[in-house]
Structure formats: C-alpha cells, structure tokens
A and B are shown apart, each in its own frame.
Chain A
Amino acid sequence: MNWLNLLILIIQAFVITLAVTTAFAYLTLFERRLLARFQNRVGPNRAGPGGFLQPLADAVKLFFKEDVVPAAADRPVYLLAPALAVIPAIIIWAVIPFGCLNLNWDYRACFADPQTSNVWNILQIAEINVGVLYLFAVTGIGVYGITLAGWASNNKYSMLGGIRSSAQLISYELALSCAVLGVVMTYSSLSTAQIVYQQGGLWGIVPQFLGFVLFMVASTAEVVRAPFDLVEAEQELVGGYNTEYGSMKFALFFMTEYIKLIAISAIAVTFFFGGWRFPGLQTLGRGMEDLAGPVVASLVVGLVSLGAFLLKLVAFLFVSVWIRASWPRLRYDRLMTLGWKWLLPLGLINLVYTAVTFVIVPDQRLASFILLALSLITLAVAVGFSSVPQPVDNVTYVKDLRQGSVLPPAPAETEESQPAPTSPRQPVSSQG
C-alpha cells in the first residue's frame, strides 16, 4: 500500500464518518417533519428555511448542557458506554458499497465480477471477503454499549432497559443471521461487493423474499426501532437505558440509534434491493462514454449509482418512520415469542428452502422464482397459524337497564347518612 492509497483511505474514512453523522442529524429532521405530516402537524420549521438548521440547533443545545455523572454511577463504565455504543454503529459502514466509482475511470469495471476485476471501488471503504461476518461482528458489539449503560447508571429504570436490550438484541441477532444466511447461500459469497454484483439480474428480494421479511422484522428489533423500541419505552421505563444520560453522552446514544437505523437500511438495500444497481445503469454508462468519454461516463455512473443507493435508502427510512407513526409497541414477552417461536424457525425453514432449491434446480432464475413462491406460501401459512387475537366486538347496547343484565344492577348510590349539622361552625368572615 503506497502513501497515496493510505491518504485516500483516510479521506474516505473521514468523509464517511462525517457523512454518516450528518445523515443522522438530518434523519432526525426528516423523521420529525414526516411524523408531523402523518399527524396533522407542521413539525420543526423555525430554525433556518424549512427547519433546515434544526439539527444544528439541537446539537448546539446538547453541547452546552451540563455534563452530569450521577454520584451512584459506576463512573468509568458509565463514561465508556456511549462510546462503546456509537463506534460500532459508525464502523458498520466500512463494508457497505454506496455506489461505484474507481480511479481507473473505467465504468465497465463496475459491472464486472469484483473477484476477478480487481479494481478499487472508492465508494466502498473496505472490500473484504468476509464482509457479512464483519457486519454481524460489529452489530454484535453494539449491545455492550446499551447493556453497560443500563447497568452503570445504577438506576432501576436503566437496568430494566439494559436487561431488555440484551435479551432483545441477542434473540434477534439469531433471526437476523438466519435471514442473511439465506442471502449468503444464494450468492455463495460473504463479500458485499460480490452480493451486489450478483444482483445485476434479479434483486435479492426475489429469491429471498422470506429472508427479506424476516430481515426487516429482525433488523427493526435489532436497532430497537418502533414497534420494537422496548429498550427505551418512554411510557414504561421513562428513558430506558439512557435515563441517566444527558448532554452529549445522551446525544451519542441517540446518534447510535439513528446511525444503526440508517446502516441497517443500507444493509437491506445491499442484500435485497441490488445495492447501488438499477436496470439501465450500464446503458447509461455506455451512452455517456460515446458522448463524452470514459472519465465523464465513470463519474456519471458513480454519481448516479450513489444517488440510486441513497434513494433506496430513503425509501426504507420513510417506511420506518411510517411504521413508527402508526403502530403501537410490542410487549416484552410477545417480543421474545415472536423472535424465538416465529422468526428463528422461519429463518431456518428459509435456509432449508434455499439450500434444497439451489441444489435441485440448477437454473438460478428459475430457482429464484420457486423460492419466491415457497416464501409466499410459508408466510401465508405462518400468518394463518399466528395467535394474534381477532377483533371481537363484545359491545352490546342496552336501552333499558332492566333488560339483558348479567347481574342485578348495582344498587343505587347509598347516600352517606351524615346527619344535618347540629352545631354549625361560624362563617369565616361575614360580608354584606
């Protein structure tokens, strides 16, 4: 590795960290404005045009808050926890390909097998051959931050939040892994770039529809997002694990959560929606090359692929906000039931489907559609067997109280038999 490459790498890391934190800030604005739309409100629109400076104002506010450490807290752990939470959330981004741009200015390399072409895509920091494993390793570390925060705060609400989070994250990690394993089997690769490359024809959602549904549910739980946001269920646990955190330490937790949400959406895009790819991109590159030469073509493909990736990402975030606006929260025991009794078995079934189908049906395209059909059938069966209570209308209308009563009507209010006062007190003051 020469100095130039190292320099580029540092720039990449710097830019991505900055971009991700900025994206977090604007995701909060996006969410607040969008929620407001869903709820018949206006949302923050005072700071800057259209509320554009609102995230800045929020950040400044949090920066100037007093940094309090509770006296009873386990100080080193308490201080370490936010960092432990936020760092994994940011380094997830290392293996995600945002687009395709290389310094050889060759757009064709984008559409070639990354294993053989050996061209450095600068819109992905690290193309490693165990990218998927890396993702799980890093998201797995994230749970420590939350659990330690809950424990170190020495607050009962925080502790409950911390316990909930460890249980939830560990349970859903399994389901999440199962869902992604299906993708790995389909494309026989652990490299994210390779998975994206192979989705040139059909997007991953077709062969892995069941996997996608499981991934969406499990990943929402993994990033403790509504309706699985039990870890910080405000109505139950006040603030959950971050009850005792204020100032920038709170902001770091907040940041973790949102960056993870963006990251998990990016992973979903990468695995199931073709990453930065979309039909017609190659044609566009060819057209641009004929028109303006290879450098421009490469730049255009790079920018357009980045744009496509971001567009898909925003669509996912939109759905996430939408869900938050409309659904109640799951209860802790039901969350565990869902994770262990439904998602994990379904994930395993999906693995069996994938393995068997690809062995029996050699044609990838045909196998994909067979898998899609299997997924839909399995989902329909699973929904049919689920134990969700039916909305039963128990309300009957009674016009006359004597009719249709289960029990004799409650006796009329018995008046307190307080005798009329015999010696009334004197009025406090006499007027008039």
Chain B
Amino acid sequence: MTSTLHVPTPQEITEPAIAGKTETMVLNMGPHHPSTHGVLRLVLELDGEVVVNVAPDVGYLHTGIEKTMESKTYQKAVVLTDRMDYLAPLSNNLCYALAVEKLLGVEIPERVQVIRVLLVELQRIASHLVWLGTHALDLAAMSVFLYAFREREQILDIFELVSGARMMTSYIRIGGLAYDVPADFLPTVDALLRIMPERIDEYESLLTGNPLWLERTVGVGVIDAEAAIAYGLTGANLRASGVPYDVRKAMPYSGYETYDFEIPVGKNGDIYDRYRVRMAEMRQSVKIARQAWERLRALGPGPHMTLDRKVAPPPKSEITHSMESLIHHFKLWTEGFKPPRGDAYVSIESPRGILGCYVVSDGSPRPWRVHFRAPSFINLQALAHMAKGRLVADLVALIASLDPVLGEVDR
C-alpha cells in the first residue's frame, strides 16, 4: 500500500501542460477561490469537468509560527499557538501547554483540568459548527451556515467571557489558565449545553435525510481504512473510514479517562460518513462538557494555576507586600522560567485530528525548537487520492469534508 501513496505536486501537472503534451485543461483553483477554505491553491487537471489529477499547493498562509516561537519565552509563545488553527485556538493552547508542562513536570490542579476539558470540548463544537456551516454552504445549502454560526456565536461569547477574546483566546497557559473563570461562567455554559442537542437536531433535519444532500455526499470521496491509515489521516476523517482511534481514549490527557463518552466511528469513509461522525461527535462533546460542568460546579472555587511557583507568578496580594514576590513576578515575566534540557511530545485530539506538539528545550527560557504535527496538513495529502475521477463539484465537497484550516496547514 505504502508504495502507491503519492501526493502530486503542482509541477507534475503544469509542466506537461506547458509543454503541450496533454489534452486536458489545467485549472488553478485558488488561492483566491470561494470554497478553498482560505488560501489553499489547487492545481487541477480537468477532462471536461472530471478531475484527472489534483495537486494541493500550500504555503500561501505561511506565518513562520514555529520559528517565531523560538524567540519567545515559553509563556509568551502561547499567543502564537492561537493563530495556527484559528478555528480551535484553545485546542492549540492546550496542546502546547501540555507539552511544556510535561517538560517542566508540573502538577496541574484538578479544577484547572476540568475547565480545560470543558473549554476544549466547547471549542470542538464551535469548530465543527464552522465545518458544518461551510460544508453545507459549499454544497449551496446556505441556511445551515447561518444556523450553525448562531450557536457558534454563543460559544464564542463564552470564550469572550472567560478570556476577553472571541477567537485568539490564549486562555490556556502553561501551568493553568490565564485567569479564573468569572462567576457567570457556569450559568452561561449551562444555557448553551441545554439548547445544543436540539439545535444539532435542527441542523440534521435540514441535511441528514435530504435527498439532494445524500446525492452529493453518499459514496463520494471514499477512502478506505487502509489508505486512510497509510496517508496518516486522523480525527473524524480517519474514524469515518471505520478506524476507531481517538487520542482522548488511546492516550488520555487532562483526565479524559475519567469522563464517560464514546467515539463515533463510521464505515464507508465517504463524505456522508464523515458528516455523520462529526455530527455524532458534537453530541458526544456536549455530553463531556456537561460532565465537566457538573464537576466544576461540585469543585467550587479554587486555583486557576498550578501552585508551583517556578511557573506560576505569586498572587497579586503577595506582590504588594513582599519584595521577594515582586522580584519573582518580575523575573517570571521578563526572563521566564527555564525548563530542564530535553524534549517532550504531547498529542491531543483537536477538532481536526491528532494535534501533536514537540518541544525541545536547551535549558534556556526560550524553546530551542517547537514543532506541531498539524492534522489539517496531513489530512490534505489524501485529497488527490479521494478526488481523482470525480467531478469538480465533488472536489469542493471533499475539501470541505476534510475540514482543513489553512492557518494550521502552513503554520
């Protein structure tokens, strides 16, 4: 199987065409195109409307995030992680924080872990809502988009409530959270979790049984389990092909092993199964978030940061009274903490798949190297495998169903 894996390059398509050796049409789809979800450029080789070959050309949104992180202190680099997968900043924050925490070996209080799980699951719902909306919009079912964004708005309001920012939250910090959650956090989340199941029913009522939707999605863009694993697909894209793999179950982090939830797994690996799996995932996320909500309510107020003073600054009340605390605070914010030499790899289940963070420390306050295993980038490689021989319209549906975020693809 591995020998047949091939991700076409743009040159592979353009060069024979320029040389005039082909009778097919080369079409540049993107980087400016309504349905390439950002600035993805696809070089299509078309025979009429049938896609003969397609080469994704990435790099139009390259921001050098991994490189820039090397010149920031560990804590300050959190801000950059927001900008990778801009539809799931909290997941990125969490992944990076977990990796550095592993390096530091700090203990994270249970309350912080519960809040993290709650927020990350809300983030998963928000991200899937964007996927659902744009996916439907790409197939011209435009109302679903606005319904999905209505609930996403509510989730973003929760993020704004806790962090002050709707998208670039930087809320999950190394060692804990940026601040404690406000008093009205619990009731606001409760209101959302109450309405969410019926709202998901509402989206499904427009799509799940719609003959036109079925026409467009069933049996389109199929990838079998073997090929999906070989291409390194992760997340819902992998699970829709019938492979039950989820990092939350396989290598639990932040106490996921203590939550009661299930992994939805598809069968055919077509667009429709990916759709069903993600819809089921949203329901599971609501379930997890509800459990986390119950725990948070039971735990009551508590710390929002680790008590390890090597990482966490002293509380404000101490700073005003103690010279040492003031100096410590100053040192932490100007110089930063120094993890021991070594490296750490942590992977989490982001809304798009396995998001991995590899941090290498040389003992200085800045990471020597940070690398992210970006699920969007790897999922995108299977595009040609799935799109060959299909129509342009299917390709559009396919891109949407792979759910790439270009910020993460290029980093």
- A: residues with CB less than 8 A from B are 35, 38-41, 156-157, 160, 164, 226-227, 229-230, 233-238, 324-334, 388-401, 404-407, 409-410, 412-413, 415-416, 418, 420-421, 424-425, 427-428, 431-432
Find chain A residues with CB under 8 A from B394 CB: 331
Residue pairs across A and B with Cβ atoms less than 8 A apart, 17 shown, are A39-B146, A156-B27, A234-B35, A325-B142, A329-B139, A330-B215, A331-B394, A332-B391, A389-B218, A395-B265, A396-B264, A397-B265, A406-B243, A416-B358, A420-B343, A421-B369, A432-B334
Does B381 belong to the interface (CB within 8 Å)?
A: no
List B contacts of A432 (CB < 8 A): 330-331, 334-335
- Complex interface: chain A residues within 8 A of B249 (CB): 398, 400-401
Find the B residue at minimum CB distance from A428: B71
CA distance A132 to B243 in the complex (A): 59
Q: Are A401 and B393 in contact (CB under 8 A)?
A: no
**Also in contact, A410 and B212, with CB within 8 A (given A235-B140, A395-B273):** no
- Within 8 Å of chain A (Cβ to Cβ): is B345? yes
Contact B345 A410 (CB under 8 A): no
Indicate whether A38 sits within 8 Å of B143 (C-beta atoms), given known contacts A156-B27, A388-B214, A418-B360. Answer: yes
Most-contacted residue by chain B among A40, A235, A428 (CB, 10 A):
A235
Give bound CA distance, A332 to B210, whole Å.
Answer: 18
Beta-carbon nearest neighbor of B392 in chain A: A236
Q: Are A331 and B143 in contact (CB under 8 A)?
A: no
Contacts of B364 in A (CB 8 A): 424, 427
The closest CB in chain B to the CB of A399 belongs to B262
Q: How far is the CA of A39 from the CA of B263 in the complex (A)?
A: 32
Question: Do residues A326 and B373 form an inter-chain contact, with CB atoms below 8 A?
Answer: no
Taken together as a complex, chains A and B put the C-alpha atoms of A233 and B140 apart, in Å, by 8
CA distance in complex: A364, B79 (Å): 78
Mostly, the A contact residues are loop
Residue of B nearest to A338 (CB): B215
* Assembly CA distance A157 to B27 (angstroms): 8
One of A35, A164, A394 near B273 (C-beta < 8 A): A394
Whether B206 sits at the interface, judged by CB under 8 Å, is yes
CB distance from A126 to the nearest CB of B (A): 38
Interface residue tally on B, bucketed by range:
35 or more
| Most B Cβ at <10 Å: residue of A234, A328, A331, A396 | A328
State the CA gap A38–B211 with chains docked (Å).
20
Once the chains are docked, how many angstroms separate the CA of A39 from the CA of B392?
Answer: 28
How far apart are the CA atoms of A332 and B393 in the complex, in Å? 8
Q: A237 — which chain B residues lie within 8 A by C-beta?
A: 392
Q: Which of B46-75 contact A (CB under 8 A)?
A: 49, 71
Beta-carbon nearest neighbor of B25 in chain A: A156
- Contact status B214-A416, CB under 8 Å: no
Q: Is the CB of A332 within 8 A of B49?
A: yes
> Quick check: is B354 within 8 A (CB to CB) of the other chain?
yes
B146 CB contacts on chain A under 8 angstroms: 39-41
User: Do the beta carbons of B34 and A235 come within 8 Å of each other?
Assistant: yes
Give the distance in Å from the alpha carbon of A40 to the alpha carbon of B265 in the complex: 33
A415 touches B142 (CB 8 A): no
The complex places the Cα of A64 from the Cα of B208 at a distance, in Å, of 45
- Bound complex: CA A322 to CA B335 (Å): 60
Contact between chains at A235 and B245 (CB < 8 Å): no
Q: How close is B306's CB to chain A, nearest CB, in angstroms? A: 22
Cβ of B245 and Cβ of A409 under 8 Å apart?
yes
- Chain B residues closer than 8 Å to A227, beta-carbon distance: 140, 212
- Whether the pair B331, A413 counts as a contact (CB closer than 8 A) is no
Given known A-B contacts A41-B146, A328-B210, A401-B249, A389 and B219 have beta carbons under 8 A apart: yes
Measured between beta carbons, the chain B residues less than 8 angstroms from A404 are 244, 265
* CA–CA, A259 and B137, complex, Å: 25
| CB 8 Å contact bits of B240-255 with A (1 = contact, 0 = none) | 0011111001110000
CA distance A412 to B253 in the complex (A): 14
Of B208, B276, B393, the most chain A CB neighbours within 10 A belong to B393
Contact status B143-A39, CB under 8 Å: yes
With beta carbons under 8 angstroms apart, the residue of A40, A236, A400 that contacts B147 is A40
Q: Does B225 contact A (CB under 8 A)?
A: yes
Cα A41 to Cα B143 with chains together (Å): 10
Cβ–Cβ contact B140 & A40, under 8 A: no
Chain B residues, Cβ within 8 Å of A333: 391
Are A238 and B210 in contact, CB atoms less than 8 angstroms apart? no
Q: How far, in whole Å, are A230 and B244 apart by their CA atoms in the complex? A: 37
CB distance from A335 to the nearest CB of B (A): 10
CB atoms of B368 and A425 under 8 A apart: yes
Chain A hits for B206, CB < 8 A: 326
Q: Which residues of B contact A390 (CB under 8 A)?
A: 214
Q: Which of A226, A388, A424 contacts B140 (CB 8 A)?
A: A226
Q: Given the interface contacts A410-B229, A412-B250, does A398 sit within 8 Å of B360 by beta carbon?
A: no
- Known A-B contacts A39-B146, A236-B35; the reply to A388 vs B360 at CB < 8 A is no
Distance A388 CA – B212 CA, assembled complex (angstroms): 8
Contact A424 B362 (CB under 8 A): yes
Is B193 in contact with chain A by the CB < 8 A criterion?
no
Since A328-B213, A329-B216, A401-B249 are in contact, a sample of 9 more A-B pairs with Cβ atoms closer than 8 Å, ordered by chain A residue number, is A40-B146, A236-B396, A324-B142, A391-B208, A391-B209, A396-B267, A397-B264, A407-B243, A413-B345
Q: A331 is contacted by which of B136, B209, B267, B393 (Cβ under 8 Å)?
A: B393
B341 interface hit (Cβ, 8 Å): yes
A420 to chain B: which residues have CB within 8 Å?
341-343, 360, 362
Q: How far is the CA of A160 from the CA of B27 in the complex (A)?
A: 11
Using CB atoms, name the residue of chain A closest to B277. A395
Q: Interface readout for B1-45 with A: 1 if CB under 8 Å, 0 if not?
A: 000000000000000000000000101000001110000000000
In the assembled complex, B266 has its CB within 8 A of some CB on chain A: yes
Chain A residues whose C-beta falls within 8 Å of the C-beta of B251 in the assembled complex:
412
Q: Is B280 interfacial (CB-CB < 8 Å)?
A: yes
Q: From residue B97, how far is it (CB to closest CB) to chain A in Å?
A: 18
- Contact across chains for A325 and B143 when beta carbons are under 8 A apart: yes
Measured CB to CB, the closest approach of chain A to B362, in angstroms, equals 3
The distance from the CB of B110 to the nearest CB of chain A, in whole angstroms, is: 23
In the assembled complex, which residues on chain B have CB atoms less than 8 Å from the CB atom of A409? 243-245, 250
Contact A328 B366 (CB under 8 A): no
Chain B residues within 8 Å of A399, by CB: 262-263
Q: Is the CB of A235 within 8 A of B396?
A: yes
**Which one of B139, B142, B330, B343 contacts A39 once the chains associate, using CB atoms below 8 Å?**
B142
State the Cβ distance, B141 to closest chain A Cβ, in Å.
Answer: 4
Contact call A326/B225, Cβ cutoff below 8 A = no
| Nearest B residue (CB) for A406 | B242
B residues less than 8 Å from A394 (CB atoms): 266-268, 273, 276
Are the C-beta atoms of A393 and B265 separated by less than 8 Å?
Answer: no
For residue A329, which residues in chain B have a CB less than 8 angstroms away from its CB?
139-140, 212, 216, 393
Pair A410/B243 contact, Cβ less than 8 Å:
yes
Q: How far apart are A157's CB and chain B's nearest CB, in angstroms?
A: 8
Q: Which residues of B contact A395 (CB under 8 A)?
A: 264-267, 273, 276-277, 280
Instruction: Decide if B150 is an interface residue (CB 8 Å cutoff).
Output: yes
Is there a chain A Cβ closer than 8 Å to B295's Cβ?
Answer: no
Contact of B138 among A164, A235, A416 (CB under 8 A): A235
Q: Which of B211, B266, B342, B354 contacts A388 (CB 8 A)?
A: B211
The answer to whether B245 touches A410, judged by C-beta atoms less than 8 angstroms apart, is yes
A386 CB → nearest B CB, Å: 8
